[in-house]
Structure 1
Amino acid sequence: MNALRPAPPSSVAAALKEVADLGSFFAVELGGPVGSGGPGDPDGGSHPGDGWHPVEETYRRGAADLVAATADRYGTGELRIGASMVQLGHAARLWSPVLACTVVHGIVPDLKGLRRADEGAALCLPATPTGWYAPGLPRLAELLYEVVVHRHLDALAAGLHVKVAPRLLAGNAASALAEAGRAILAAHPDLRRPLTEVVDGLLSTDRLAGTGNFTAPDLSFRRRSCCLYYRVPAGVKCEDCSLAR
């Protein structure tokens, strides 16, 4: 990671605003303090009553509010299903803007200072977000994995109050990544080669390795695990589910 070249906050912000047009999972609000809310952060990362809190707080609480609300919305008493759905949705909200900015604009947004809405799953970054230029990075997939999985999805998994199989969570992360790739490809078919290279690299990295494979040119994905959605009342097997054969 020694070859990282910082991108100007204005360029990172412009990239994030542009990719938000790809869909709700690509949208990240911009505004608020730079602080991350972590130990030793003098800013604290949030201000009382501003409607946002450091995402680390959600991780430490195991996203308990979202898990309970999700399970209730789907009419199930199995909190592990709610936890799976929350983690899958959060993975999509992380991968989508990061992958799109990287492939479309050549900028990897840092997620430092990420905050979550007090009511809901929306995410917010500082008004002056940081990031790095992607072109020329020899280990781009490793950086993206560090930004999304190591710094965020691992922390969320560690804080969950219910037991969810690690391979299920890894499959969720891979599924969210693949779906983000499909959306980007649909909007930017000319970027197929660099997009596929980045996604393939990520799906060969650490815990994402062996989670599934592409089944069609449009980046349709078949995972080797199940998110458990089929277990809710009126639930069905997802298109990429290992059980949908």
Structure 2
Amino acid sequence: MPGTSMAEGLRRVAEAGPFFAVRTAEAPGEEPRAHGYVPFAELCADPGPLRARITTVAGRLGTDELRVGASLVFQGLAARLWSLALGSAVLAGTLPDLSPERLWWHPDRSAPDELWLPGPVSAADGPVSAADPGTSADRLRAAVVDGHLVPLHRAVRSVCPVSGQLLWGNAGSALFGSYRVLRDGCRARGRAEAADTASALVRELFREPPLHGTGTLAGGGFTRRSCCLYYRVPGGGLCGDCALA
């Protein structure tokens, strides 16, 4: 999106839905920590806020199985990260700087208010090119998987014993869910080229670990090879992409 600032690009990305939005505005000198936010970089060293969120989610769902809360918290955060990154790549043509030191999370809030990227918002190096989806997917993988999901995966499992394979299945499911919302929104607005770019990026992301093997892309849909444990929630049932279905 030539001539468009990263902040303006993020405002356009947010139009795709609340999961694609991130808080950027702040008063001069305003400190995210004063409002209960913590940087992602601290979650491995001090998983206390993550533990609190997992406990809260399990309680709200009416289950005493912390692994269910852990699974769904990880999936929700993965969906937010994928939405923000994939939406920026497709709709803004670049990625914001989402480094763990820059991106803040609030354990007691939900989309769109739980993520804060304090200004000034800067773009990561280089544009995302539809002509080179492999390289662009590598940049997305580095920003989301390496930068956030790998340490988050480790932090969640330090709080609660939950299958590592299950969590990566959640990451794959979260990516496809974010992609489907973005793809369908682009098509509805007559932006077929943007929808095709999203499709190419997602195919590339699923070619490499840790998402490779987490599920099957076919017929415009996704079927995962694991279960997020939502069926363990009273009245929960099975998700549409569940292996158990």
Q: Where on the TM-score scale, by shorter chain, does this alignment land: which range?
A: 0.7 to 0.9
Query: For residues 240 and 173 of structure 2, what CA distance do their matches in structure 1 show?
Result: 10
| 1:224 equivalent in alignment to 2:216 | no
State the partner residue of 1:185.
183
Residue 57 of structure 1 deviates from its aligned partner by: 2.8
Identical columns (%): 37
Query: For residues 177 and 15 of structure 1, what CA distance do their matches in structure 2 show?
Result: 20
Query: For residues 82 and 92 of structure 1, what CA distance do their matches in structure 2 show?
Result: 15
Give 1:22's match in structure 2, choosing from 3, 13, 16. 16
The aligned runs of 1:1-245 (5 Å cut-off) are: 11-31=5-25, 46=31, 48-59=33-44, 60-61=46-47, 63-112=50-99, 113-117=102-106, 119-121=108-110, 122-132=114-124, 133-135=127-129, 139-160=135-156, 161-189=159-187, 190=192, 191-217=194-220, 220-244=221-245
Deviation digits for residues 75-107 of structure 1, max 9, x if unmatched?
Answer: 111101100000000001100011011012211
Residue 31 of structure 1 deviates from its aligned partner by: 3.6
- Paired letter, 1:116: W
Residue 32 of structure 1 deviates from its aligned partner by: 5.2
Residue 180 of structure 1 deviates from its aligned partner by: 0.8
What SS class does the counterpart of residue 219 from structure 2 fall into? coil
Deviation digits for residues 138-178 of structure 1, max 9, x if unmatched?
Answer: 61111111111111111111112111111111111111110
Change beyond 3 A, Cα 1:48–1:93? closer
Moved more, 68-77 or 153-162: 153-162
Unpaired stretches in structure 1, ≥5 consecutive residues: 1-6, 34-42
What SS class does the counterpart of residue 154 from structure 1 fall into? helix
Query: For residues 231 and 118 of structure 1, what CA distance do their matches in structure 2 show?
Result: 23
Alpha-carbon contact 2:10-2:92 (below 8 Å) kept = no
Deviation digits for residues 171-199 of structure 1, max 9, x if unmatched?
Answer: 11111110111111111120232111100
Residue 61 of structure 1 deviates from its aligned partner by: 0.5
Deviation digits for residues 204-229 of structure 1, max 9, x if unmatched?
Answer: 12110011122333xx2111111000
Residue 235 of structure 1 deviates from its aligned partner by: 1.1
Change beyond 3 A, Cα 1:162–1:125? same
CA RMSD of aligned residues (A): 2.3
Provide the aligned length of Structure 1 versus Structure 2: 225
Query: For residues 183 and 54 of structure 1, what CA distance do their matches in structure 2 show?
Result: 27
Unpaired stretches in structure 2, ≥5 consecutive residues: none
TM-score normalised per structure 2: 0.84
What SS class does the counterpart of residue 96 from structure 1 fall into? helix
